[in-house]
Amino acid sequence: MKNNDRRNFLKAGAAVSGSLLLSPALGFAQTAANDKKKNTGSKYRTLGTGKHSLKVNYGLGLGCMGMSWHRTFIPDRKPMIELIRKAYEMGVNFFDTAEAYGPWRNEELVGEAIQPFRKKIILCSKFGFNIRDGKLDGLNSKPAHIREVVEQSLKRLKTDYIDLLYQHRVDPAVPIEDVAGTVKDLIKEGKVLHFGLSEADPVNIRKAHAVQQVTALQTEYSLITRDPEGEILNTCEQLGIGFVPYSPIARALLTGYINPLTKYVADNDNRDTLPRYTPEAVKANWPLMEAIADFGNQRGLTAAQVSLAWLMAQKPWIVPIPGTTKQAHLQENLWSADYEFTPDELKTFIEKISSIKITGARS
Ligand SMILES: NC(=O)c1ccc[n+]([C@@H]2O[C@H](COP(=O)([O-])OP(=O)(O)OC[C@H]3O[C@@H](n4cnc5c(N)ncnc54)[C@H](OP(=O)(O)O)[C@@H]3O)[C@@H](O)[C@H]2O)c1
């Protein structure tokens, strides 16, 4: 990236940053540390193994859900299309959407945005729900339904193949082998290139993988939600499956932007329903934010960057997909790929984080 462009990003970043409760340095930490960083997109991480592997630039993708759904404010389509195209120009090649987001609207948005470079990116989508009257209405991974959804997703995405197709949630009513078998057939037909699961447990991961090699597991993982550590990540490691943390900055909670006064629009924000986003829980969990901010403030990193860099430090096959509607945040998040924790930093930081009691269930 040219220096002028970088300076513009820094200005934009400073203009939109800021936190009511944390030290100002948290929001304005685009400092010398970032100035040195390159924005080449030449770094990458690999998800999955062999012919079912995918090379993700930066080792970070772009979660597109919040451009249409679940994050209070729905921005206009045009700037979001421009943002997705800008992300591609910046080297991002991994874009995440799902039939459920909107529903449908997000796939339509992403489909339009990626047209100029469709074949050069990794397009990820998901199936797994019934949708009635424009609302999610229970799980459905029946083989015939998967096929129907894929046909419709292909139309909305304006493409003839999906690079990485995830089952969004395991459907207890359908054996996972049948789901994997259906995706295997879709792969043979060329409509899908790779198979993924989301929030699946080790038993289902193993059963699915035995039928059709799984490229990636997408599951919530962040400094406040460390549930995948242990059995889930071990299973992925053993089987050579990549891991994609969703909500990697905990839906903005780990950035310092959310405070006990934050209001959500219940019609379009699931944070209103999640126990960790109540004013009481945000306040009770503030020591976690302070620990993240302290670490970042001493290194010229924002809290979002610390959170993303920490996830990437866990395993080389972890590829977070932070969502954003702002170019300044996108740039800030991509820079996190340049920060490498030393072994000592990892040890002391996680000791500190682990000593903090988290209030409020994940869901
Ligand atoms: N598989 C699943 O079940 C599942 C579930 C949820 C999400 N996902 C996927 O994961 C993606 C990301 O998850 P998510 O959107 O829930 O959570 P997230 O990425 O942890 O957080 C997104 C939120 O953080 C804010 N943000 C992003 N970068 C920031 C920065 N540098 N500084 C301050 N705020 C920042 C965004 O607001 P701004 O727009 O203001 O930047 C947005 O409100 C989604 O887009 C979706 O593709 C998958």
Q: 20 versus 143: which is more confidently predicted?
A: 143
**Percent of the chain topping pLDDT 90:** 85
Distance (angstroms) between ligand 1 centre and the Cα of 321 equals 8
Residue nearest to atom 21 of ligand 1 (CA): 251
Mutate to test the pocket of ligand 1, among 60, 264, 329 (most ligand atoms within 8 A of CB): 329
pLDDT of residue 267: 87
Question: Which range among 16-20, 211-215, 240-244, 258-262 shows the weakest confidence by mean pLDDT?
Answer: 16-20
Is the confidence at residue 21, as pLDDT, over 90?
no
The proportion of the chain whose per-residue pLDDT surpasses 70, expressed as a percent, equals 88
Atom of ligand 1 nearest to the CA of 333: 31
Q: Is 325 in the pocket of ligand 1 (CB under 6 A)?
A: yes
Does 249 contact ligand 1 (Cβ within 6 A)? yes
The least confident of 80-89, 224-233, 263-272 is: 263-272
How confident is the model over 193-224, as pLDDT tens digits? 999 999 999 999 999 999 999 999 999 999 99
pTM (predicted TM-score) = 0.91
Residue-level pLDDT at 42: 67
Instruction: Calculate how far, in angstroms, residue 36's C-alpha sits from the geometric centre of ligand 1.
Output: 26
Question: Rounded to the nearest whole angstrom, what is the distance from the C-alpha of residue 328 to the centroid of ligand 1?
Answer: 14
pLDDT of 196 reads 99
Instruction: Report d(CA 306, CA 294) in Å as an integer.
Output: 10
Distance (Å, rounded) from C-alpha 77 to C-alpha 68?
8
Answer yes or no: is the C-beta of 245 below 6 A from any ligand 1 atom. Answer: no
Residue 342: pLDDT over 70: yes
| Position 253, amino acid | L
Token representation of residue 187: 């792969």
Alpha carbon distance 326, 296 (integer Å): 21
Among protein residues, the one with the nearest Cα to ligand 1's atom 13 is 247
pLDDT at 275: 95
Give yes or no for residue 163 CB within 6 A of ligand 1. no
For the chain, give every domain's residue range.
18-354
Confidence at residue 10, expressed as pLDDT on a 0 to 100 scale: 33
Average pLDDT of every residue of the chain:
90
Cβ(319) – ligand 1 distance below 6 Å: no
State pLDDT tens for residues 160-196: 999 999 999 999 999 999 999 999 999 999 999 999 9
CB of 254 within 6 A of ligand 1: the answer is no
Distance 151 CA to ligand 1 centre (A): 27
CATH of 18-354, one of 3.40.1190.20, 3.20.20.100, 3.30.390.30, 1.10.3720.10: 3.20.20.100
Which of these, 117, 66, 108, 115, lies nearest to 89 by C-alpha position? 117
pLDDT tens track for 253-298:
999 999 999 999 888 899 999 999 999 999 999 999 999 999 999 9
pLDDT score, position 30: 41
5 alpha-carbon distance from chain centroid: 25
φ/ψ region of 198 (left if φ > 0, alpha if ψ in -120 to 50, else beta) reads: beta
What are the φ/ψ torsions at residue 315 (nearest 5 degrees)?
Answer: -150, 150
pLDDT at residue 72 in the model: 85
CA dihedral 227, 231, 235, 237 (to 10 degrees): 70
pLDDT of residue 32: 39
pLDDT surpassing 60 at residue 117: yes
Given the CA of residue 64, which atom of ligand 1 is nearest to it? Answer: 45
> Whole-angstrom Cα distance, residue 312 to residue 192?
27
Give catalytic status of residue 161 as yes or no. no
Catalytic annotation, pick one of 58, 88, 101, 277:
101
Pocket lining: 297 vs ligand 1, CB cutoff 6 Å = no
